[in-house]
Structure 1
C-alpha cells in the first residue's frame, strides 16, 4: 500500500512539474505598429525574442508614428513605435479612452538628407537652403535655383508621408512649422520606397532615418548639414543639428500586465544597445537604458 501511495505521489509531483513548465513557457500575441524609422530596431528585437519564445506571435507594422498612435490611443495595439513624442491631441484621446501608457526611449537617430550616388555637385547643404527647397511656398524647381553653380535640372523630391514622425520632425525643424511642406513631392510611409526613388534618379533628393542610408550607402550619397556629417558620434553628441532626435516605444500599461508583453519590453531594453547598433542606429548610454528599465519595474 505504501509503495502504491508513493508511486501516486511521485506521479502527481511529476505532472505538477510538467504543468509548471508548460505555464512557464510564454505564449500570446503582441501587436506593434507605428514608425517606419523605429521598425528595424523593433523587428530585430522581435526576431531575437522569438528565438527564445517561439509561442509568442509578434506583429510589427509600419503605418507611421501618427498612424500607430491612432491605433494605440484606441487600444488596438500594445506598443507604438514612435520617432517623436506623443502630441497633445493624441494624449487627450488616450485619456478619453482610458489608455494609460509608459514612454520609453530606445535609441538616437539622425534624419539624413540624401541624393543619388551619381550626383557630383552637391556635398553639403545649409538648413536655410533646405527650407528654400522644401517649404510650402518654395519656388525652387531646378538645382540651380538653390545654388547657381548647380545644374539647371529639375529636382525630384522624396520624403515621408504625413503620418510619419520623421515628417513632423523635419518640417518643424527645417520649415519652422509641423506639416508645413510643398505639395509636389513623392511621399511614402515606407522608407524603402524613398530609397528606391532617390537611387533611381540622378537629380533626386530625399530625407529619412539614418539607418536606411546606412543600409543603402552603395546607391545613395548623404549630404552634410551646415558642414556636419551625420556620423554616429555626431548624432550621439548632438553636433548634427537640428536633425538629431531620440526614438521611442510607447507601451500600454494594461498590456504590460501580460507576462509576454512585460518580458518582451524588458528584453527590448536589455538587448537594445547591441541590436540598435546592428541595424544602424545610435544606442543610448547604459545609464539611460537602466532608467527605462526602472520605469517598467
Structure 2
C-alpha cells in the first residue's frame, strides 16, 4: 500500500508539471515576437529608446532596433521601406513625400513631444548672457562665412577672439529647424562650423573650447548642464531660456518645435508594431519628460491615438 501511495503521488506530480508546462507553452505561444526597425533623428532617439526599454518588459521577444542617421537619413531609409518607424525632429519634406510615393509607401505622422533648441557656450564664457535672433542670424547666415569671425563683431564689448561654431550636421532636422527659424531658410547657413550628427560630439566640442558657440536639442543640455552654459534668446519682448514651461507655452520663440514619429503603412499589418506604437503613444508624455523633453497636453495624445487606430483600420 505504501508503495502504491508513492507511485500515485509521483503520477500526480508528473501530471501537474505537465499541466504547468502546457500552460506556459500556451502563454508563450501567444507572446509577440519579431523585429521593429526605427531610424532617424538623434533628438527623438532618447524618447524612442526610453519607450523601447519599457516595452521590452512587456514584450521581451520583440526586438526594437533604433538607428541615429539624422531626420533626413532616417526618411531616406523609411521611403525605401527599410524601417518600420522614423524619428523626426521636423515634418517630412516634399521631396521625401515624393520618395515615399514612388515606393508606394503611405505613412502617418504622430506628434510625440515638444522640444526647445538650446543655444550654448562654454562655462568660461563670461561675456554672453543672451542673444537676439538678429545676432544669431548675423553669426550663422551664409554671408557670415569668412566675414563674421570674432566675438567683438557681434557686440563691440565682447572679446577680440575667434568664434568657434558647433552644430548638427546638414542631415539633421535640428539643423533644418534652426536655420529656418534663425536664418529664414531651411538648410541655409555658413559652412565653416564643426558639424556632427552625434550630439555628444557637440557637447565635448563646446565644453572644451572657451570661445565656442553651438546649438542642439534641449535634452542634451539637460544631460550635460555641468559642462555647458545655456544662453537665453530675446523673443522680441523679453529674454527667455528654454524650459518645460517656456517651450510648452510658446514664449521661447522661435526655437520651440514639436517632435514626430512616422509610421509606415505596411508595418501596421504586424501586431508587434501596432502594440509598440500604441504603447509609445500611451507612455510618450511621461517618458519624454523623464529624458528632458516637454510632453504634449493629454488631449493631444488622445488625438494621436485616435488617428493611429483609424490608420490601422484603413490599412488592414
TM-score by length of 1: 0.94
Matched residue, 2:176: 168
Q: Does 1:196 align with 2:196?
A: no
Distance apart, 1:57 and its partner CA: 1.0
The separation in 1 between residues aligned to 2:225 and 2:275, in whole angstroms, is 35
Matched residue, 1:187: 195
Name the SS of the counterpart of 2:32 in structure 1.
Answer: coil
Q: Does 1:154 align with 2:166?
A: no
Matched residue, 2:6: none
Matched residue, 1:230: 242
The separation in 1 between residues aligned to 2:123 and 2:21, in whole angstroms, is 64
The separation in 1 between residues aligned to 2:230 and 2:76, in whole angstroms, is 32
Distance apart, 1:23 and its partner CA: 2.9
Q: Deviations over 1:74-108 (max 9, x none)?
A: 00000000000000111011011011111100000
The separation in 1 between residues aligned to 2:96 and 2:81, in whole angstroms, is 12
Matched residue, 2:299: 287
Of 74, 77, 84, the match for 2:80: 74
Distance apart, 1:19 and its partner CA: 5.2
Q: Does 1:211 align with 2:219?
A: yes
Distance apart, 1:253 and its partner CA: 1.5
Matched residue, 1:134: 140
Q: Does 1:273 align with 2:285?
A: yes
Task: Give RMSD over aligned pairs.
Answer: 1.8
The separation in 1 between residues aligned to 2:193 and 2:210, in whole angstroms, is 16
The separation in 2 between residues aligned to 1:26 and 1:200, in whole angstroms, is 47
Matched residue, 2:8: none
Name the SS of the counterpart of 2:143 in structure 1.
Answer: coil
Structure 1 residue runs of 5 or longer lacking an equivalent are 1-9
Name the SS of the counterpart of 2:213 in structure 1.
Answer: strand
Of 123, 147, 150, the match for 2:129: 123
Matched residue, 1:97: 103
Matched residue, 1:253: 265
Structure 2 residue runs of 5 or longer lacking an equivalent are 1-15, 310-316
Distance apart, 1:262 and its partner CA: 0.8
Distance apart, 1:254 and its partner CA: 1.2
Distance apart, 1:18 and its partner CA: 5.1
Matched residue, 1:26: 32
Distance apart, 1:112 and its partner CA: 1.0
The separation in 1 between residues aligned to 2:152 and 2:70, in whole angstroms, is 33
Distance apart, 1:22 and its partner CA: 2.5
